Structure 1
Amino acid sequence: MKKVVLTGGSSGIGKEINLFLLEKGYEVLFTYCHSEDSAREIENNFSGAKAFQIDFTSEGQMEAFLSEIETFDPDILINNYYSGTFIGTYFHKTEAEKIFEDFRNNVMPALQVTQKCISTFRKKKLGRIINILSSSMVSPAIGTSVYNSNKAYLLQMSKSWALENVKFGITCNSVSPSFIPTDFHKDMDERMKEMIASGYPLKDKLEGGDVATIIELCINGGKHFNGNHLFVDASHY
């Protein structure tokens, strides 16, 4: 199993996972939206890298990407992409349109891409699905209700994917990292970042590379390693 579809692979945790896999000889079809310079740099440095620019809110671009997946014929799917904000406002102040928009922009694309990959995996009778979630679901900060609910939705879906597909040689596992400061958190108040970091059990902060090593476990853990929700948080929660 050497061919990976990775959503959101040009920045943050996704980039770290991407580079980790490429350095180990995997072929990676990865998506990006705005980080074109980073995506092209990855392509230039690794022959196995293939970048695909996509706005997941575009029906036409999504159809093109699903066709690209079919042509690529992957063995592994890593759902990492998330667009929007980590911290918004209190739930009772959150507009219904915001809740719907974040679900449509983040959850629906993951479902569509996973459906396409499962169809491919079932033909091969082999496949790996890995979802990047968040330990924030366990200990949510104020204002993260929309973000956490979307991640929780994918966790529940993961359980169904694991059960429905294991007899076809397909496993599905989820990975929830602790807080990792990335561009995704650029609008977050610095005092909140410091507060979160100060409560972490280890002096060394969690890095994207720490998450990447768990990804390899999900890939090579075998057919019985299925339906797990793994926390990368030094037993913080």
Structure 2
Amino acid sequence: MNRVVLTGGSSGIGKEINIYLLEKGYDVLFTYCHSEASAKEIEARFANAKAFQVDLTSAEQLEAFLAEIETFDPDILINNYYNGTFIDTYFHKTDADKFLNDFKNNVMPALQVTQKCINVFRKKKYGRIINILSSSLNSPAMGTSAYNSNKAYLLQMSKSWAVENVKFGITCNSISPSFIPTDFHKNMDERMKETILSGYPLKDKLESRDVSNMIDLCINGGKHFNGNHLFLDASHY
């Protein structure tokens, strides 16, 4: 029970989760879109890593990835991929098409990948679904309405996944880390980063390894550890 599908596994938190699992001996099929150098570096370092380049916003490429999932026969799915930005603009200034496109580009691929994995999991009567969300769901930063609405949709959907599939040995849990400066936030104003981090109750900011520890819990916590939403924010909110 050690085959993992990880979406967005070549940069940011996803890369750290990927390396953690590979070092633990898991076989990981991970996606990347633009970070080819990083993906190839991971593959060269770990024989148990398999990179799959895919633009999940492309219906044709997504179908190819779903077929690869079927062949890979995973035991664990980690939904980490996000295509877009954390902070954009105020809600009242956001074009309606922005909300629609972000939903199509982020939520729909996650749903389709999860459907495929659940079908695989049900056949073997075992599976683990883990969603990487955000503590911003509790206290949204200004300008994050599109990002947070997508994460909130996946959180509500994951509750259904947990209820509908637990009798098949499948659990679903979600992890919401506090703010971790990564490549995902490279275009974010430095003053905004400082404002967010200055309000954090611990002197040490959250590290990617803290998220990896929660991944381990979600995988190995047993069949009763199901339907949880875990906040990694030092009780900030």
TM bucket (normalised to shorter chain) is over 0.9
**Match of 2:40?**
40
Cα drift, residue 209 of structure 1:
1.1
CA distance in 1, matches of 2:71, 2:225: 28
Q: How does 1:158-237 map to 2 (within 5 A)?
A: 158-237=158-237
SS of corresponding position for 1:39: helix
CA distance in 1, matches of 2:235, 2:41: 35
CA RMSD of aligned residues (A): 0.5
CA distance in 2, matches of 1:133, 1:110: 12
CA distance in 1, matches of 2:13, 2:235: 20
Confirm whether residue 63 of structure 1 aligns to residue 28 of structure 2: no
**Match of 2:14?**
14
- Taking structure 1 as the reference length, what is the TM-score of the superposition? 0.99
CA distance in 2, matches of 1:148, 1:30: 24
**Which amino acid is the alignment partner of residue 46 of structure 2?**
F
Confirm whether residue 123 of structure 1 aligns to residue 133 of structure 2: no
- Taking structure 2 as the reference length, what is the TM-score of the superposition? 0.99
CA distance in 1, matches of 2:69, 2:168: 19
**Which amino acid is the alignment partner of residue 56 of structure 2?**
F
**Which amino acid is the alignment partner of residue 111 of structure 2?**
L
CA distance in 1, matches of 2:36, 2:89: 30
Q: Tell me whether 70-79 or 85-94 shows the greater mean CA deviation.
A: 85-94
Cα drift, residue 104 of structure 1:
0.4
SS of corresponding position for 1:29: strand
CA distance in 2, matches of 1:45, 1:232: 29
Aligned length: 237
CA distance in 2, matches of 1:98, 1:218: 33
**Match of 1:100?**
100
Q: How does 1:70-89 map to 2 (within 5 A)?
A: 70-89=70-89
Residues 64-115 of structure 1 show CA distances to partners (whole Å, capped at 9, x for unaligned) of 1000000000000000000101111111110011000100000000000000
CA distance in 1, matches of 2:168, 2:186: 41
**Match of 2:3?**
3
SS of corresponding position for 2:10: coil
SS of corresponding position for 2:42: helix
Q: Tell me whether 85-94 or 166-175 shows the greater mean CA deviation.
A: 85-94
Q: Tell me whether 184-193 or 159-168 shows the greater mean CA deviation.
A: 184-193
CA distance in 2, matches of 1:99, 1:58: 18
Cα drift, residue 129 of structure 1:
0.2
Confirm whether residue 136 of structure 1 aligns to residue 136 of structure 2: yes
Cα drift, residue 234 of structure 1:
1.2
Cα drift, residue 199 of structure 1:
0.9
Cα drift, residue 37 of structure 1:
0.4
Cα drift, residue 173 of structure 1:
0.1
Cα drift, residue 208 of structure 1:
1.1
CA distance in 2, matches of 1:201, 1:68: 43
**Which amino acid is the alignment partner of residue 223 of structure 1?**
K
CA distance in 2, matches of 1:153, 1:183: 24
Q: After TM superposition, which residue ranges in structure 1, 4 or more long, deviate above 6 angstroms?
A: none
Cα drift, residue 235 of structure 1:
1.2
CA distance in 1, matches of 2:106, 2:5: 16
